[in-house]
Amino acid sequence: MLELYNTMSRSREPFRPRQDKRAKIFTCGPSTYRRPHVGNYRTFLYEDILVRYLEYLGLEVERIINFTDIEDKMLAEAVKLGTKPASIARDVAEHFFRESAELNIKLPDTIPRASTSVEQAVRIIQVLLDKGIAYWHEGDVFFDPLKYEGFGKLYRLDMSRWPADKVRFKKDTYHGRRWNRGDFILWHGHENGDIGAWETELGYGRPAWNIQDPAMVVEHLGPEIDINCGGIDNIYRHHDYNIAVIESFSGKRYANFYLHGEHLVVEGKTMSKSRGNILYPEDIYAWGFQPHHLRYFLISKHYRKKLNLTKAGLGERARHLDEMRSRIRRLLAAGTAVAPAGGAAGLLRAFEERMNEDLSIGAALEDLDRTLIRMESGQAPPVGPKDLAPALERINSVARVLL
């Protein structure tokens, strides 16, 4: 049985969907004020492996990945560039779609945007206002975490340190891994110079970032899902805010599993504009690598472990993949091939054993290659390539780097 590490429980748990043979998954998408970099794609890739493996196991996956296109940073970028947020979002989305296709990332048919879920955000805020969990202050709406029992449970926030005096945080997002101990904003009333606003039942304004994901989740998946995914930074504030908003709105448990991927660093250092070390897929290709090399590198180390990107390390992984792909071609082209005990079915069992250990795709492919080497050296009873090919194709339906 598939076991996933659940950030909520800090332990690996058997995965059972709420509905038989059907899984609902929310994966945080890009903030479209800037292009996703290779670190973002590492997150999108572990989520891709999750979706593909659930489908491999026979589940129907209902998933959304969202575009955050109206947050503070987007509006500031639009003012800086003298353009419209929609124009920036369109350009970033084009990069995302093209690069995801190159990296064999499977995307849902429909990708909701914060700007298209404003009405749903308003409905949720109205319910929270009616319940007394949210309140108006100087034209904005804030969420009071003290009105939601269990606030901060994902992070395991120490609520005993909550300030006695009322504190409000009005920005959509705050830099760094720290907690804002106070009320967080849900609705920005329109202010002079604010270029993004809608006329709604709450008045003229816009939904804050903290309500945008809940609005898109509830609108497209409902308030109860199986898995909520994202990067490790989302453990700080963001996902606990989502939990508090959705569960306060619905009165039901939001997600049963929370998955978080670790950072990718470059030459041992966090990517940042100030360091000038932000890398995009095209930068990797300019080094002479192909998209399947980058995909393999980004999935080769377990998603919950930090991954260090160096040109040498990427080159080593690329060579390993090229050798494995060549080995597969030779085996499939041979008149007869050989397989380990259990035949081609044994390859699938070994693959599933590793994948069931919290999506250990890198280890699964390492094991596979060791088996391919033994097969090529004739250390097992012969098996025809026609039996080997379907097994490899099935594994590759998840890995998407082998054939």
182-208 pLDDT tens trace: 999 999 999 877 888 999 999 999 999
* 394: three-class secondary structure by DSSP: helix
Phi, psi (deg, nearest 5) at residue 61: -105, 125
- Nearest CA-CA partner of 355 in 395, 391, 297, 308: 395
Q: What angle do CA 246, 250, 251 make, to 5 degrees?
A: 105
Residue 268 falls within a domain, yes or no?
A: no
Measured CA to CA, the distance from residue 364 to residue 99 in angstroms comes to: 25
Same domain, 81 and 148: yes
pLDDT at 14 > cutoff 60: yes
196 or 385, greater pLDDT: 196
Choosing from 261, 278, 307, the residue where a domain stops is 261
Residue 222 falls within a domain, yes or no?
A: yes
Measured CA to CA, the distance from residue 266 to residue 307 in angstroms comes to: 9
Same domain, 41 and 120: yes
Chain center to CA of 375 = 36
What digits encode the pLDDT tens for the residues 330-379?
A: 988 875 555 555 667 889 999 999 999 999 999 999 999 998 898 888 77
Cα distances (angstroms) measured from residue 272 to each of 25, 39, 227, 234, 285: 29, 11, 29, 18, 20
For residue 388, what pLDDT band results from cuts at 50, 70 and 90?
confident
Query: 198-214: b or e for each residue (b if 16 or more CB lie within 10 Å)?
Result: bebebeebbbbbbbbbb
**Sequence-ordered strand ranges (E) for 15-59:** 22-27
Residue 273 falls within a domain, yes or no?
A: no
Same domain, 375 and 299: yes
Q: What is the pLDDT of residue 336?
A: 55
Q: What is the pLDDT of residue 338?
A: 53
Q: What is the pLDDT of residue 274?
A: 85
Q: What is the pLDDT of residue 191?
A: 86
Same domain, 41 and 133: yes
Measured CA to CA, the distance from residue 359 to residue 305 in angstroms comes to: 12
Same domain, 152 and 248: yes
Phi, psi (deg, nearest 5) at residue 162: -65, 135
Q: What's the longest Cα–Cα distance across the chain?
A: 78
What digits encode the pLDDT tens for the residues 135-144?
A: 999 999 999 9
Measured CA to CA, the distance from residue 97 to residue 115 in angstroms comes to: 19
386 or 63, greater pLDDT: 63
Q: What is the pLDDT of residue 341?
A: 52
Same domain, 55 and 153: yes
Element (DSSP H or E) covering residue 395: helix 385-399
pLDDT at 75 > cutoff 80: yes
Same domain, 229 and 354: no
Measured CA to CA, the distance from residue 94 to residue 35 in angstroms comes to: 10
What residue numbers bound the domain in which 309 lies? 289-399
Q: pTM (2 decimals)?
A: 0.95
Phi, psi (deg, nearest 5) at residue 186: -115, -30
* 161: three-class secondary structure by DSSP: helix
Q: Say what percent of the chain tops pLDDT 70.
A: 96
Residue 60 falls within a domain, yes or no?
A: yes
Same domain, 251 and 380: no
**Sequence-ordered strand ranges (E) for 66-103:** none
Same domain, 257 and 294: no
- Provide mean pLDDT across the span 379-386: 61
Q: What are the beta bridge partners of residue 270? A: 265
What digits encode the pLDDT tens for the residues 107-124?
A: 998 899 999 999 999 999
Structural contact between residues 299 and 327, judged by C-beta atoms closer than 8 angstroms: no
Residue 326 falls within a domain, yes or no?
A: yes
pLDDT at 214 > cutoff 60: yes
Measured CA to CA, the distance from residue 171 to residue 333 in angstroms comes to: 60
**Sequence-ordered strand ranges (E) for 153-292:** 168-169, 183-189, 198-200, 203-207, 225-231, 255-261, 264-266, 269-270
- With tokens 């350009």, the residue in question is 91
What digits encode the pLDDT tens for the residues 235-273?
A: 999 999 999 999 999 999 999 999 999 999 999 999 988
pLDDT at 384 > cutoff 80: no
Establish how many alpha carbons lie within 13 A of residue 316's alpha carbon, considering only the half-sphere containing its beta carbon. Answer: 6
pLDDT at 392 > cutoff 90: yes
Query: Number of helices (H) and strands (E), helices first, in the chain?
Result: 12, 17
Same domain, 222 and 320: no
Cα distances (angstroms) measured from residue 267 to each of 304, 308, 313: 19, 6, 10
- Provide mean pLDDT across the span 15-24: 97
- Provide mean pLDDT across the span 202-223: 97
Q: What CATH number should be reported for the domain holding residue 165?
A: 3.40.50.620
Cα distances (angstroms) measured from residue 403 to each of 114, 287, 330, 392, 396: 37, 22, 12, 8, 7
Residue 303 DSSP class: T
pLDDT at 381 > cutoff 60: no
Choosing from 214, 241, 261, the residue where a domain stops is 261
Residue 267 falls within a domain, yes or no?
A: no
Residue 276 falls within a domain, yes or no?
A: no
pLDDT at 383 > cutoff 70: no
Please give the mean pLDDT across all residues of the chain. 94
Residue 275 falls within a domain, yes or no?
A: no
Same domain, 239 and 307: no
Same domain, 91 and 226: yes
What digits encode the pLDDT tens for the residues 136-181?
A: 999 999 999 999 999 999 999 999 999 999 999 999 999 888 899 9
Structural domains counted in the chain: 2
